[in-house]
Structure 1
Amino acid sequence: MILQGKNLANILTFSRIVSACLLLFTPPLSILFYVIYTYCGVTDLVDGSVARKMNAESKTGALIDSIADLIFIIVAGIKIAPILIDKIPVWGQIAIIGIVVIRITAYTVGAIKFRRFASLHIISNKVTGGILFLIPYGIIVVRIPIVCAIVCIVAAVSAVEELVCEIRLEDYRPDIKTVFEIKSMR
């Protein structure tokens, strides 16, 4: 069957786009929201692995994956931000602004230094993405200020690590795993 192998990863990615769009029409934090939200997260985790396992990696697939991620992040933000906006403590709002400034600075340094958008695949960025994904689950179990503190600490460490990597790297290496690899590269 043609659906096997090469197309499966792209089908998963396209299904994430469709599912993310469906989230727009579901009540936030409802059972249906969690089912669709979880499906989006699972497909994000597995589509790249499927592409690698099936030897079906492609620039087009990577682009579609990035588009799917962006759509999902925007939709999730649209649905979850109104719930959180009034409940995030002032210190959390200040921390979020600081983290955004550090991220923008890191991307600016990378863009100037490497003459391209330079986002790194460091482990702390992946951990931050995972923690951000868990916010809708966390807020039903733990108080929002505690969730905010955890997210801000992890995101701040990740943002600072990315900035340090961008400053210290001599050439663009998007697949670097940690800042500690930089010393061993020289």
Structure 2
Amino acid sequence: MDLFEKAKTVRLRTITDKFLVAEDDEETVFQSREDYSKNSIWKVERIRGRYVRFKSCHGTYLTASAQLFVPGIIGKKVVHQSIPQTADDVWIDWEPVRDGFQVRLRSRSGSFLRPNGGLPPWRNTVTHDMPHTSKTHEKVLWNIDVVEALPTPHRRSCSDFTKAPAPHVDDHKTAASHPPHKKLTTLEDLW
């Protein structure tokens, strides 16, 4: 989870350097080597402690669907769908499982976000399933490229105070003429 702590938006990159991309049809996801597209940028939403959600540029969420990718094969489709039906829509929740500088993204059902390669219909597709061999266990690793970090609150240092001009001795303004300080009540007020 700490890889996403300070990230506002990210690109998810496979170990073969392809990016997870949300297609303009507002449903399909695929892999692409092109990283300049806004469709490869995902907004990170942290929820319920260890889970995150990924929101596409279309306002849709990366979703682990229950539909098989190819009938008779284990992998299930990964899509990006619209706003969750309920606040507890678990199909859009992903648990980052750190492995060094990379993560495996596990759905609530226990399956992992998996990029596929090979011949069509698998080439550049993304599914979710359980890795059964050491080779597929490595395929579900993702690199996290932070595109935009969350702003950090400015902490005043000693040098900040030395830069401010000292008050003039002949300054006759009273405290009553200064506006009252605004009370900060939410985190948004701090930003």
TM-score (norm 1): 0.24
TM-score (norm 2): 0.23
Higher strand residue share: 2
Larger Rg: 2
